[in-house]
Structure 1
């Protein structure tokens, strides 16, 4: 196991919305015997409202603050030894301060998925407030790639079979 994971057993999956972080993360956690946490779901449970509602009622800035606090809480759990594979929201890693905190407390893995596949995956979803404007959505994808590229590892995932992404992550030999 790499030293970072001995100190704080956290594997943080980052990438654009619709890239498969939650699906891949749940399968990866099951494979290695760790708990899985979807950060957006945790935020919705704690706030007792949807991400869309938070965006609409409080704005993106307020949501990002809530998200940063949830990341801090997650990091504390990993330092206490709670081994976790976490799927982060698409903007979490790009928000100032979050990346540095995450990198100091576990391993970050960018799931890089082509834009066209992401679009096909989320075409019928209505719970993604930043995907409503197709031009802005494409710009956001391109802009965030720079932040995602700072992750510890990158796997390319151009498939609808999450097993392929899990196998790519396991091939990194993070756990020994």
Structure 2
């Protein structure tokens, strides 16, 4: 069965908490798989660092998960945002950025990160991002359905998820 768990990825930011998903049979979350895939490749060392800084500093600490930061990809969204963003000494320019990280923006304070890939085609459905794109939309639809069905809920501080039995470990 295609069961996955929803788990905290980073809750250290002042503005936003990041969750991730992990297939039940997997040892590593989808977001960790993304970062591990590219962190040691010299072509992607700089972009992966820029994306990590954008997530932790800009979204996590400074301003939260503003809608303008996310590009809609069916039920899911993608990072980096369109345009050009400066975070400290790092500038992310969407037009030149070689990677896509899929996610689900719940609110300014809560984002679920999925997996991604190298952008090798004009559309998300094409190229090396195809599988990550399809999985991201599957994850997003299941999370949104679970929220609508009240199988899971957003915590009162709007920075986390809980299941109806108040368990921290959430299987979907």
Establish whether TM, by shorter chain, passes 0.5: no
Say which structure, 1 or 2, has more relative contact order (CA 8 Å, 6+ apart): 1
Higher percent of residues as helix? 1
Give the alignment's TM-score, normalised by structure 2.
0.32
Higher percent of residues as strand? 2
Give the alignment's TM-score, normalised by structure 1.
0.31
